[in-house]
Structure 1
Amino acid sequence: MSGKKLTCFNCGQVNRVPEDKLMSGPKCGTCGARLIGGKAAEVDLKTLQKAARTDDLPVVVDFWAPWCGPCRSMAPEFSKAAQALAGKARLVKLNTQDNPKSVQTYGIRGIPTMIAFAGGQEKKRKSGAMPSTAIIDWAQDL
């Protein structure tokens, strides 16, 4: 069976989506949530780890916290980048305050930090707030 494996950010189920359906709003076969929604999804550590390990599309994570000013200023830019990269990469946000173990697991030294995963491995990371154009450029070659 061909297609791209995508983890549902809502229920954690792995779905297989035919490549020609990636841009037509595929939904999870278990819970019905959109798999590629054009906006950054909020995830927990367990869901992130599963998606980073399993997904065939690159996963770009914004590690952030609600008390972080630069994180809050980057949030709308990250959402713009998620729309621009829909079908090429999936952008997610992980709240480090709600998921403190993620800081240790991924060696986060400062926030916001973005980490890109592809093929089950970390490919690159970058710390500091960026505009959407820089996020898109940074995530293009995954």
Structure 2
Amino acid sequence: MSENLHVVCPHCAAVNRIPDARLGDNPGCGQCKQPLFTGEPLELGQADFDRHISRNDLPVVVDFWAPWCGPCRMMAPTFHQAAIDLEPHARLVKVNTEVEQQLAARFNIRSIPTLAVFVQGREVARQSGALDLANLKRWLQPHLRGS
């Protein structure tokens, strides 16, 4: 029997119930009809962060970054590739700490880039510093849905 998972739409933030077995079938949002998985990291801010972190049954991987940060810019293509490779087993999101200073303070972000994994609203892992794709995937593997 397939379990239903809650997946927050990256476009309209509606919470969708999707059978676990259908995650790989490119499901669409019941409200806005757009794809639930885009292969792109989702930019989140104060207004939508909590909904995505707490209402997704998928692990949410957050890249706390800033545009002036060299290692952050260096890691951006890697994080983008990880979104392509790891969806629908995880949702990858980015938080610009320059714009979202309250979120950065709330999660005690002291250096960037910092990656954090949230499962059902709770932070379960954290890694500071840029990673290459192989090490990023290795670090995330224990937290991915269906792995």
Query: TM exceeds 0.5?
Result: yes
Asked whether the 8 Å contact 1:9–1:47 carries over to 2, the reply is no
Q: Pairwise mapping of residues 52-71 of structure 1 onto structure 2 (< 5 A)?
A: 52-71=53-72
Query: What SS is found at the alignment partner of 1:23?
Result: helix
Tell me the equivalent position of 2:8: 7
Q: Deviations over 1:54-92 (max 9, x none)?
A: 111100000111111111110000111112211211111
Tell me the equivalent position of 1:38: 39
Residue 135 of structure 2 corresponds to residue 134 of structure 1: yes
- 2:6 partner letter: K
Residue 94 of structure 2 corresponds to residue 116 of structure 1: no
Hey, what's the Cα distance between the residues in 2 that align with 1:74 and 1:85?
A: 16
Residue 92 of structure 2 corresponds to residue 105 of structure 1: no
Hey, what's the Cα distance between the residues in 2 that align with 1:88 and 1:30?
A: 22
Asked whether the 8 Å contact 1:59–1:118 carries over to 2, the reply is yes
Percentage of identical aligned residues: 42
Higher mean displacement: 90-99 or 34-43: 34-43
Q: Deviations over 1:17-51 (max 9, x none)?
A: 12222112222222233222222121223322112
Query: What SS is found at the alignment partner of 2:142?
Result: coil
Hey, what's the Cα distance between the residues in 1 that align with 2:126 and 2:45?
A: 19
Tell me the equivalent position of 2:22: 21
Q: Deviations over 1:72-122 (max 9, x none)?
A: 110000111112211211111111122111111111001110000012210
- 1:24 partner letter: D
TM-score (normalised: structure 1): 0.92
Higher mean displacement: 99-108 or 30-39: 30-39
- 1:19 partner letter: D
Asked whether the 8 Å contact 1:25–1:37 carries over to 2, the reply is no
Query: What SS is found at the alignment partner of 2:37?
Result: coil
